[in-house]
Structure 1
């Protein structure tokens, strides 16, 4: 019988579930707190206070978006590395990945070819707060 992992993820958290014989149980959680912060909170060197000369616009410059993207890409690589290790260590030989649409794309980019070949289903939806029972129903064969 194949060893299957279900991974639910967004830019701040990835949860890993073992899925065998219709039973789903959580085996690991990866946390990336930077993915949860607002872009202004990611800056270094200050206390987050602006000087009077700086505009008080709620929207920051494009560099903030680049910072968030960099953090998301870094975490996507961490998730992809975790899956590669699970595959090479024989912990799992099939993967189902459910992630927020943009983050799912980043994970796909970071997966190596052998691990990509083990992904049997993807879902572009953030299910990172779903419980084990919900995931067991969602990913019961045949996959929907």
Structure 2
């Protein structure tokens, strides 16, 4: 049986996915995602410069743009989350979606979401609640 609502809360390196009933109550942690590369310093990501898949065909070379590698990691994490949400749609695991993330990552995530997931997105909040304890989140994230 599908959860009525999924709530995705996080940032470019850590995301928690919760489910709730149709009233937005009874929050339960479904899964937690971490992307440590998004937290790494640019120098720590430098060894990946020779990876032919590390850059994009149309973007600046990683060597000439200081934050390019980190941005690529943020995009990679957004695509990973989007894929998970797509599988949730495929498996009929949720009907509605709320996302709370900082503006920069929220934009990347929205760009990565499929139309099927966007159709279920009822609200997005530009807020970083990644360090808010789970018990306090229902008071911070309004459920309509």
TM-score, length of structure 2 as denominator length: 0.80
Q: Partner of 1:29 in structure 2?
A: 32
**1: distance between equivalents of 2:100 and 2:131?**
11
User: Do 1:40 and 1:64's aligned partners in 2 also have CA atoms closer than 8 Å?
Assistant: no
Which of 97, 100, 110 aligns to 2:99? It is 97
Segments of structure 1 that go 5 or more residues without pairing to the other structure are 46-60
Q: Partner of 1:13 in structure 2?
A: 14
Secondary structure of the corresponding residue to residue 69 of structure 1: helix
Q: Partner of 1:54 in structure 2?
A: none
Q: How far off its partner does 1:36 sit? A: 0.8
Change (3 A) 1:140 1:68: closer
Q: Partner of 2:78 in structure 1?
A: 76
Runs of 4+ in 1 over 6 A off after TM superposition: none
Change (3 A) 1:141 1:99: closer
**2: distance between equivalents of 1:37 and 1:136?**
30
**2: distance between equivalents of 1:87 and 1:4?**
12
**1: distance between equivalents of 2:77 and 2:29?**
19
TM-score, length of structure 1 as denominator length: 0.80
**What value does the CA root-mean-square deviation take over the aligned residues?**
1.9
Aligned length: 127
Taking the TM superposition and a 5 Å limit, the aligned residue runs for 1:1-144 are 3-20=4-21, 21=23, 22-44=25-47, 62-142=64-144
Larger radius of gyration: 1
